Amino acid sequence: MELYVERGFERTTVAEIAERAEVTERTFFRHFADKREVLFSGSEALRDLLIERVADAPKTATPIHAVRTALEAAGAVIQERGEWSRRRQAVIAANAELRERELIKLASLATALAEALRQRDVKEPAASLTAEVGISAFKVAFERWVQQPSRRNLPRLIRESIDQLRAVAAGE
């Protein structure tokens, strides 16, 4: 991450990353398919957390409440890595290829959330709509969190974003 911030993603090589990490390039490639994956390596764990939290939501929880609870849990994990997460986002924002990869990651998270909702017997299109709007609310909350100098609480921002969305949908 330090190299990406110092030199930019495009100008940083795998050899430089390996050298900074005091490993060989071969070792780097055992852990990452390419230098982009350094930024996206936690995606599977995040997806698994979302699925688990939707599954663990009370049976009485509405679909949006189950998604909100899952996204708040993900937000807490991201917040724990505060400065790293903010630096990661700055690197991604500066590179079109990485922005595209981030959108793909978010789309895959929405797909996973929709499947988790279907496992709770939420029918279509409600499962897909709830997952997509949940990810959209998450994205807005995350952008606010990254840009907030006061370092507000990410799970709270996620909750506020979803609550605002619900209010808009209710015509309030």
The chain-wide mean pLDDT, for the chain, equals 93
Give the total number of structural domains in the chain: 2
Query: How high is the pLDDT of residue 172?
Result: 65
pTM: 0.89
- Which ranges in the chain belong to alpha helices (H)? 2-7, 14-21, 25-31, 37-40, 43-56, 63-80, 82-93, 96-119, 126-147, 154-169
- 21 and 54 belong to one structural domain: no
**33-84 pLDDT, tens per residue?**
999 998 998 899 999 999 999 999 999 999 999 999 999 999 999 999 888 8
Of 72, 69, 75, the C-alpha closest to 54 is 69
Query: How high is the pLDDT of residue 151?
Result: 66
Q: Rg of the chain over CA atoms, in angstroms? A: 18
Does the pLDDT at position 5 exceed 80? yes
- Structure tokens, 103: 């959108």
- 17 and 84 belong to one structural domain: no
- 27 and 83 belong to one structural domain: no
Give residue 104's domain range.
42-169
Give the separation between CA 58 and CA 30, rounded to whole angstroms. 40
- 57 and 132 belong to one structural domain: yes
